[in-house]
Each structure stands twice: as structure tokens, then as C-alpha cells.
Structure 1
């Protein structure tokens, strides 16, 4: 870090405090007399969302055109570190060309539950995969000298009540699952900026949480950069500064700057803390501003081609009975489904990109040598019965050799600010595929969506290609895979359950009011399904190819694993090999096995390659909260190498001598954890695991509302509080009926915003006195 102490010595206290919050929605404050410029921060994780006009946080107002790459949920299925670096490089180039210093991404929160409305922005249920992918994207973005910003640190697991919810999680799960991905991103990617999350973690807001910030981020991981709040994510500005949160965004209209100045004058805050924060901010400002002096012009057509390439390498062939795909020249093909003409290619909210162009599958398929017999919409996108659309689709299907059926989640199904209600497609889509299966044997389902989907039709169709959210070039990628111009290579970065009730956190998700209890602990995703032997629809790491691969010659040491992969099919293709480690005689409860390495290799027919995967310091370890450190047990470990978590091809046993540090896990007290039966966790077990008794998960329904409460809590009040809640709720419903899901989501943002944040978000237009009067009115009844 460059030494800016001399410059800081020339600054007034008020000037130093001013650098701790934004000048407006997207920019930091300049200090002109000292030559300190303003810098710009913008969304987003898979494309530049730079707003030229009115600013907002939920993607409502248009931004300048930019390349919309596939979001993280899609890119994760590539398991391709080089690709993530390349996409990051393209993102960084576009940001730099627009004089943006900080690109707010990637998002790498763990997919604790399939219903999280923002899962499309996150990589995986696995922290190793998430962290490795994020680290490489960070390196790519920062190759242009600007800053990436991994987010949201930490345990941002639900959108419901996200600004006030207390995520209650045991220390071991915190370290092994929720923080491990961030560790890789910080230590290997070395980002210049990290974004803190809105929520509390074990009773403290994330940006004020000294354990998260001082002990771990700045302490153990030696982070050298800046921490920025999520937009509107500041609670107590002074406590945040003490913990190590330098920048509050957006502008609070000078309100919190004054709080910092007052705290120093009264001795509540040391000026040395502020000076250190200012030095970190100056380093970010000057380093990124220097990088923006000479930027390259963007070739948006080249970037579109890279978006297509990224989508192709990330899509997953889930099922392909009788090798129905790829389609063959001359086959009569019926194209059915609204998503074929109007693609769903990205999520909604702060990552909503204004694309430079958007491909659609119908136009592209019509240009191929397939005999397209026609197109029918088949269903209304946002649900509801329409017999005419359905019957027209059935008539068209009878004329074809193959039916391409484009199904998916609509734009209102997954978005920032709201969680999903279930894992299902709209009923009219399910009815259509059911009716089509009665009149046709060769159905190919092409899915769109950024989250896990239940598939009751899985046995009624022959092929399923999951395009996830393909970005602006997703339709071109779908076409290339369908006709065999590209051999699919993607594999699932998350488990697909048969039904929602099978999910480990289903009994506890979401936390509805005051807290969200993570009673399932470490048993997230495959760590639960594989341990408890719960049948799944498609396992973690699953994905088919148009060719086949063989594995051989496994060699194992404590530091590395090597083996050979051979393409034994007729087509060139790529194979993602996965390394899992299983502790065979652990005295602590553990997942049956965990991902600890992976590699993606391209192989021509009959070609073989040796794959070598290095193991890191945590490969055999668990987090021992008794010693506050990572520990390795002595004993036998099974090394498993395979094509998915359920398709293990090679195994070898390794004996290790560990540190055998004492731990506090009692098998009798924590019996359900040792059994992996986390749907049955008792209060006694959970509290024992936590090491404390958590607060009441419900709001105090009789108490008076205060600054950290929300409009949503007015539902339990009488009089004005209840009326205000009902008006906001009615507004949301009306907007949904009007077909405006993004605006409806914005209403929920207001519903769940703490009263303390309203003056800051409005930059003082709504004053604290006005909020005091509002609360007084609400609390009359």
C-alpha cells in the first residue's frame, strides 16, 4: 500500500470523514483542493451496469449498452478457471473504457437453499468451486488495473428481510462453508475491494462484525484493500469504521460524515482509525484512477462472440436418451415455447444489464439445415391457462420428428429483493409438456433459469439441455449444441433435488422475522444428499457429453493427485474431472466426501492426457472451533476421482498423520449431526453446536418499533402501522397484476428497509425528525 500519510496530514477532519461515504449514488467524494479525484463504482457481476441518467439499485432505470455475459450460476457450470479469467478480463475492459474504477462483483455467496431469489448471481453450493472461480474472475477484472469487488461478505443466504435478518450459524459452518470461498477469492484473487452484506451474522451487522472483519478478513487473510457496504447497508457508521468498513455507499447526504466527526471530537473514535481508513481509500482512488488514463476501445462484436463462447462452455446436457441430440440434418423439427423467441438470458435487480444485442433461438434455428416445420408459443410466459395456445402447439408437434420445447422461469420468478416461493415451473408449462408427451416420443426440453427447478416431466422427455441464463449470446450457444457444432461440456455446480422438501435447510428456510437459524450446519447441498443418501434428480457435478471418457492410472500423495483421462468416443470433447476426499474414521461429524480439486481438459478422439491436481492446506482439514483453527485428524482418507459426485471412476486410500487436536463435538449430544439427519435438529443440539442460546427468531410483536425495524413489522401493529403495511403490500400485488415484476420487487425493497436507512437513502430529503414522527404515529396503537 502506497504511503499517503503526508497527504492525509494536509486534510481537515471533515475532509477525511467525507471520503468515508459516497458523493452520490455511484461516485465517491472528491477533494479538489488536494487533487483527490472522485471514482465511480458500478454493478455488476456479469456485465457493466453504468447508469447514465437516474440511478437506482434494483435495475429499474436503464444503463448504457454493455455486453451481457452469462451470470455466475451459468459460468459455474463450466468449471473452467481460464474461462472465468477471460470473462473477467472482458468485463474489466468494458468497465475501464467507461472510466469505472470498481466493478461490483463477482457474487459468491453459498447457495444454502434453492429458493434464494439471488442464486442466479452466485456460483455454487460448494465453497471450493465458488472460491476458485471467483478468484480467477477477480484476476481477470483487475488485469486492467481497476478493482473487482467480491460480495456479499458474508452469509447473505436469503433476500427476505435481508437488511435486518440475523444469520445464526455455528463457527465451523461459518468457516468451512460460508467463508472458505471468500478466503480463496481474497488470498488468490487479491481484490482491491470487498462488499459487506446487509445482514447480521450471529447478532452483529456484517460490516460492524469485528470477528468477520478484524479477526478473519484483515487478520487471518491479510486483506489489504477497501471494504464497501452494500448500497444502504450501513447501520452504525462509527462502529462500522472501527470494524474496518471504510466506504459507505451510496451518499448519505453528509449525515454519517458528521457522525464520524462528532465521534472523534467526543473521543468515541480514534482519529488513527479514520486515518488508516482514509489511506486505504486513497490507495484505491489513485491506483484505479491511474489505470484509467490509457484505456482500450471495446470491440463489442468481439465481446459478443466471447459471450457466446462462455455460454457454450457452461450449458449442461442433463439427459440424452437414445442419443437424440445432436439433431441431424433433414429432421423435421417443431419449435415450441415462448422462450424460443423471447429468451430469458439474465436475472433481475442490480445486475440487470442493457445488452448490446440479444440472440434468439427461433431466428437462429431457422437458418440451419434442419427442416423447421413451424413455431408455436405454447403457453403464456407468466402463467394462466390458454387452451388455444396449447392446442396449436399439439397440432404442430404431430408434424415433426423432434419437438424442441423451450421452458423456463419467467423474469418475476427470481430476482434481487425477493425469494422464490417454490422450485416449480409455471403450471401451464408443466401441463403443456405433459400433453405433448402423450402425442410425441422425441421431445427435447431446453430450459432457461438461474436456479434449481423441479422436473416432474423428466421421464416423459428424451433429452434435457439446461441453458441456465445464457447472457446475450445464449441462444447461439443453444443452437450450436443442438445441431452438434459444439459438444456440451458443462456440469452442474449445484445439486438438483427431486422435490424441495428434500433440501437440508427446507425446515428452516427462510428465516421469517428476526433470525435465520442455520440448523443444518455444514450439510449444505451435496454434503447433505450424499451423506444422508437422499436420492436426487441430478447430482452435483453431473453433465453429459456427445462423447465418452475413461479414467486410469491414479497416483496419490498428500500434496497432489494425478491420473489419466482418455476420450474413447468418436467426437472431440471436454471432460471435467472432480476430486473428492472422504475421511473414513473421523471422530467429528463430517460430510461423506467433499470436493477438493477439479480440472477441465480438451481431448480429441482417442487422445489421453495426464491430469495433475495440487491439494492445498485445507484438503484434509476441518475447522476446529475448540482451538479456533484448522485441524487434521490422523487416519485413512479415501481419494475419489470421478465425472460427478455419484460417478466415481478411481479410488485410492491414503494414511495421514494429523495434529489430532482436541475438539468439543460430543456424539451423544449432537447425534443428529453425526447421522447427517439435519431435518431433526433439536434446540439442545443446535444451541450446543452454536455455543450460545440464540435470540428469539420472531419479532417482539408488542414492543414499539424503532430505527432498526421495518414497515413489514407494521403487520402486527394496529392503526397507522398496519395501514402502512397493507398499502405497501397492495401496491406490490397491483404491480404484479399489471405485469411489472421488477417494480413489484422494488416495493419489497422498501417494505424490508429499516427506518434508519430512509434518511440516508433519500440523502436527507426524508429527515430523521420525519422518521421520528412516523414512528411515533405507528407506535400510538
Structure 2
């Protein structure tokens, strides 16, 4: 007998007699025997449960937990918000924190930053690290990662997702999921599906054609399930085909559980279930957050009034609900439980360890994107620069608190200003000017930053003071962008403008006029307009970088880390250059139409020949790279064959660095319209100065497919194709043509 059972299972429950089904008093109940096949254990446990116990495991019993089966020694399940860190403990029935003193976590960079690394190894490091933190906190389900597609720069929740391209998101989500789950913690991939706006998110019906659904909005979810083996999936708030996504027959029963063979549990977003019959029949397995204070339903416990609680039980008792469907739900919840809470072989976790802080710093540094660097303004030389001015509220404001469910409590967040002061030491005089006032507050669900960012100066005075200081400085770093307040990068609201808020454009333009050595650092999870771009020599996208923001930022600014991040989404010049605003609807009314169909992001810009501000895949380095000698090993690809495209990449500069070599494929004679090209491969290559490596991409017919909505199937259509190899979607260095037979 495995004595590890004794850690979590009462001794008396080790024996079959505990289940009330008879059996030897010296025989371990099958469902408790981890040496037996999982499905056998599930069936044994299911056979021992009463109808009431089956229903009880399908809904919440508190804000973040669902009941187990105490009579059988099956523990409750505990969820925690992610996907950037482990949320502080909250009260049983409230969102406010429980004010523990030992639940400070590592805040990892936002998923836009992770996607910008274009490095699946960083996704694995991220998943392993955050999984260890969840394990330490005894959490069974991590509510993340998010893989909804970036459709518009105004979506307030874009910072939680992995960009605009389904191939990139698919490559990055798989190692994240796998590594989280090695800790015995379930990844809950969200929000399935089409959660591309926060405005009217509980009610809006998304109208999108089947091609866009299949080619753009579902592939990352499919990869997380079929390649990553995700143990749970969270339904989205919005509607699709008139049904809420948390109980949507087509998405959950037909596609997720049917076509993809998903064997895990579908979990509702908190408050995402709206109908008992649909919840019972249309694929929802675990309901959370309905009437979320848990107290307002009168004499019965409010959790009993969830759709999958007493109302469902009454339907079953009256014979109005199918028992086979009930058992399928229970099997899925038991499977989730046995993989997590009942798994006695889980490794030990760790919380806020030096290793996790180092991982956060490494991922943040690798994800930062150098957008512009005229004249080699960066990296800064802390010896040559004697007087450095830092301007901007985001240089001192903590960003780990706020933004919605991803808000965290950290032991310490290194701000950009702290990082700069530490990096330069006494070699340089550093001064700070506020420049603008954004949001001086800093609290969320009872977590307080403790910062006093109050300001009495007027907008004009703030700008004037910053300009006077800039005239005396050798170099200026402006740290601005967005924050996690309402109507910026924040759950629950969408942005109201594409431009920078708080009159930051005025500040930047004034600084540029006062000092030619200006670097603009953007802290954001979204693209922004840059009307001042031609007057600023250096621009760095730093994202929301978590606990180690200041350290990671100065690693890049002062050259300890050579930037290698690439944009995971397009920066349009104007909002009207974005497809959702040029052709589709946003945010719509009762419904929102995706009239742009498959032409999302760079697909739109390429096909319509609209120049972006910064293209998908764009990112500079402190060294230079040459990509050439692009060739294919054959000119014809057979339906069951493989074609290889190779390219040589050389570091032609004087610093070690990494380049992301990107493969795009264009269909030259499709019977249905297709984008000019689509990402189908990438590889991040680390090179010493003067070093050359050959990158090889493997192309199979599956990479050439499109979804034919007239036939309801994927089609790889014979004809001519072009493989493009480059450093960004608008920076192609070579191409080869081939034919699919």
C-alpha cells in the first residue's frame, strides 16, 4: 500500500467498507488505489456516489472551491486566478483578500510579454514556475493561460492573452500547459471562445463565419487540448450562435468534447452560467460564481441555488434530465480531482523563490521589444551619461495590483525607477519628474500598494518641470503607456481611445524638443498610437513585466540583456487601420459582427497593403542579423510528403544576440480568398558575433490547409505556394516557390 495516501485520505476511508457497498475490510477501495488505471478508479468512485453527491461536486461551495465527497474521502477542489501569478487568498464568500501574511507570490510578466519572447522554452519555464507556486499554495486548478486572439487594440483584456496569430499562440500555450500540469495542478485554458471584448461581455452575441472561427479563434485552444493535454477549459462570458459560451452546445459538446476528444472538465467563468437546462445539457461540468456572494438566496445556502445544484437535482428527480449526461459530468470532475487533489505523487512546490524571481526577470527581459533605436541611442552607457532624467508616472507606479482577476499581491515589485537607481549606482546622477498624473490610487480587492502618488501640480506645471530637467540631462527616459485602471488594460472595461491617456503625447513631444537623447519606454498590454515617433530616437515596449520589472528593464536599457523580443500583434498607425474598426464592428450592440473574417492583424495589413506603425514579428536588437540563402529541398510537395525550407542566419554585429527567423506561407491560387501570407513556423536562434547557423523548417500539407466553410472541412488545395522567410511580417529576406500536388 502506498502510505502517501495517509497525507490526504482519512485512514478509515482506505477500506472498501467505507463506501457502504460491502467488500472486504482489508481491501483498498479501487478508486483510492493509484496503481489501478485512472478510468477504473473513476468508475468505481462513480458507482459509490449517491445522486445528491453527484450533483454536489458540479458547483461551487465557496468563492474558489467546489465540494468533494467527504463520505468517500474525495477532497474538495480549489481554484486560483492566474494566469500571471497566484492570487492572494480571499474570504470564503467575498472577493476581498483574507489578509494572510504568507500568500505573496511571484508576479510573472503578462502573457503578451511571454508571447513576445517567441520562445517555447520561455513558455515552459513560465508554466513550470507558476505551477510550482500553485502547488505550494495547495491549488488544484490554475485559471489560465488565456489564448483569445487579439482582434482590436481596444480590448481591455488583451494583456492576458498571447497575441493576434493562432500559430504563435498555439506554439506558446502547449509548453505552458504541460509544465503547469507536471505539478499536479490543472491548467484551465480560457476563455473558450471569442472573448475579444469586455464591453457587454456577459450578453453580447458574437457573429463570426466558420472560416474565421476555425482558422483564427480556435487553433490555440485546440493545441492546448490535443497537444498540451489540458485538464480543464473555462467557458467565455459572451454568446455565440445565441447561446452563452459556458453552456454552448456547438462549442462544448460538438467541438471541444466531440471533435477534439477533450476528457477534462469545462469550468464556467465566474457568473458565466445563465440557464439550468442549458447548463445541464450543453457541456458545462463545474459552475462557479453564480450569485457570487453566496449569501443572498435566503434560507437555503446560495450555492445550492446554482444552476447545476438544487435546480439540476430537482430536474433529475423529476426525470427531466438525463442520468447518462450527469454521469459524464461527474466522471470529468472526478478525473480532474484524481489528477490534482487526489494525486499523492505531486512534487513539492515553492513560492516566491529566488529561482522564480530569476525566471520572471529572464522572461521579462527576453520579451521586451525594441521598436526603434535610431543612432544606437540604446543601450545607455551609465559611465558616459552623468545626468540621467527619468520622467513618467509608470516609472514609479506598481502594476501588479489592479487589472481585474489577474491582480496579485507581491512581496516586492521592483519599479523601473528602483531598477535604474540600482543599475547606475553612484556612477550617474539620476533625477525624477512626474510628467503626468494617471491614476494615483493603488488597490484591488483589499490589496494595497501602499504608494502615495498624490500630486498637487497642474498638467502645465508638470510638463514645464520635466522640460527644465530634460534640458540639464545627458539623456532622458520617459516611462509611460497604459496602466491597469478601468478603461485601460483592465478586465471589465475596454479602452476608450487608441492614443496614450493622461496627455502623455504632450509630455513626450515637449521632452523630445528639449533633449535629443530621449528613450520612450511603454508599459502596456496593447498597441498605442505614436504621433511623436519621428521625433524620438528610441522606443522600447516593456509590457507589464511583474515582480522583476525594474531589474528586467534595466537589463535591457543598459545592455546586460540584448533585446530579442518580437511583437505578437500589429501596431496600426491609426485605429481605423485595424480590421475590426475598418470593416467589422466594435464593440457592437446586442451582437458584434466580425465582418473582417480571417483578416485579423497582419493578415489584414498585408492583404490590403496598409502600412503598420510596427508590424507583427517586428523587434530590433543591439546587434545585426543577416538572413539569406533561402531554399527548399524540392519544388513539389506530395499529399503525404514533407518539404524542408532552410535559411542561413548570421550575426553580423559585435554583440551576442538572438534572432527570430520567421516562416510565412502564401497560397498563390486558392479557390477561396486567403491572406497574402500566414505564419507557419519560427525559430529563435542565439548567435555569437560572426556566427552563422542554418535554420530548417518542415512543411507538411497540413500547414497549407484552409477551412472550407462550404464543405465544413479542412482542405489542402493543390497548386502553387510561396514560402517567405524573414525577421517580421513586413521584413521578408527570401522566398521560394513550390507546388502541392
**TM-score normalised by length of structure 2:** 0.86
Distance in 1 (alpha carbons) for counterparts of 2:645 and 2:680 = 11
CA distance in 2, matches of 1:60, 1:133: 34
Q: How many residues align?
A: 657
- Residue 238 of structure 1: how far off its partner (Å): 3.1
Correspondence for 2:188 among 117, 141, 149: 149
SS at match of 1:563: strand
Distance of 1:195 and 1:476 partners within structure 2? 34
Q: Is the 8 A contact 2:658 2:686 kept in 1?
A: yes
1:605 pairs with 2:668: no
Aligned twin of 1:296 = 349
Q: How does 1:651-730 map to 2 (within 5 A)?
A: 651-657=735-741
Among 385, 390, 413, the alignment partner of 1:331 is 385
C-alpha change, 1:565 and 1:61, in structure 2 (3 Å) is farther
Confirm or deny: 8 A CA contact 2:272 2:289 kept in the other structure. no
CA distance in 2, matches of 1:513, 1:578: 38
For residues 77-112 of structure 1, the C-alpha deviation after alignment (integer angstroms, 9 at most, x for no partner) is 101100011110000001011110000000010111
Alpha carbons 1:550, 1:567 under 8 Å: kept: yes
**Pairwise CA RMSD of aligned residues?**
2.0
Give the Å deviation of 1:62. Answer: 8.7
Alignment map for 1:341-490 (pairs within 5 Å): 341-344=396-399, 348-369=403-424, 370-382=427-439, 385-412=458-485, 413-490=488-565
Out of 246, 258, 271, the residue aligned to residue 232 of structure 1 is 271
Task: Give structure 1 stretches of 5+ with no counterpart.
Answer: 658-781
Report the counterpart of residue 642 of structure 1 in structure 2.
Answer: 726
Match of 2:604 among 509, 521, 528: 528
Query: 1:309 corresponds to which residue?
Result: 362
String of CA shifts for 1:119-170, please: whole Å, max 9, x gaps. Answer: 0101111111112111111011111121001100001111111111111111
Equivalent residue in structure 1 for 2:698, among 610, 614, 618: 614
User: Contact 1:76/1:314 (CA < 8 Å) preserved in 2?
Assistant: yes
CA distance in 1, matches of 2:656, 2:577: 37
SS of corresponding position for 2:341: helix
Q: Following the alignment from structure 2 to structure 1, what is the Cα–Cα distance between the partners of residues 592 and 107?
A: 33
Decide which of 69, 81, 106 is 1:43's aligned counterpart.
81
> 1: distance between equivalents of 2:463 and 2:97?
33
The answer to whether the Cα contact below 8 Å between 1:582 and 1:593 also exists between their aligned partners in 2 is yes
Aligned runs of 1:89-128 on 2, under 5 Å? 89-128=128-167
Give the TM-score normalised by the residue count of structure 1: 0.81
Give yes or no for contact 2:149–2:163 (8 Å, CA) kept in 1: yes
- The structural deviation recorded for 1:52 is 4.0
C-alpha displacement at 1:303, in angstroms? 1.1
Distance change >3 Å, CA 649–CA 361, structure 1 → 2: same
Give 1:202 shift.
1.7
Q: Deviations over 1:657-698 (max 9, x none)?
A: 2xxxxxxxxxxxxxxxxxxxxxxxxxxxxxxxxxxxxxxxxx
Q: In the alignment, which residue of structure 1 is the partner of 2:242?
A: 203
Match of 2:338 in 1: 286
Gaps of at least 5 residues in structure 2 are: 1-37, 291-301, 441-456
Distance 1:113 1:8 in 2: 45
Give me the whole-angstrom Cα distance separating, in 1, the residues matched to 2:719 and 2:549.
47
Query: SS at 1:619's partner residue?
Result: helix
Cα distance in 1 for residues equivalent to 2:268 and 2:489: 23
Once residues 204 and 356 of structure 1 are traced to their aligned partners in structure 2, the CA distance between those partners, rounded to angstroms, is: 42
Change (3 A) 1:467 1:347: farther
**Residue 219 in structure 1 maps to residue 272 in structure 2:** no
The 1-side partners of 2:100 and 2:645 are apart by 49
Report what 1:776 is aligned to. Answer: none
Q: Does 2:67 align with 1:32?
A: no
Structure 1 position 427, deviation (Å): 4.4
Correspondence for 2:566? 491
SS state at 1:15 partner: helix
Instruction: Compute the displacement of 1:347 (Å).
Output: 5.7
Change beyond 3 A, Cα 1:654–1:26: same
Match of 1:548 in 2: 624
| Alignment-derived partner of residue 253 in structure 1 | 303
Q: Deviations over 1:360-415 (max 9, x none)?
A: 22233223345234221122124995222222111111112211111121332221
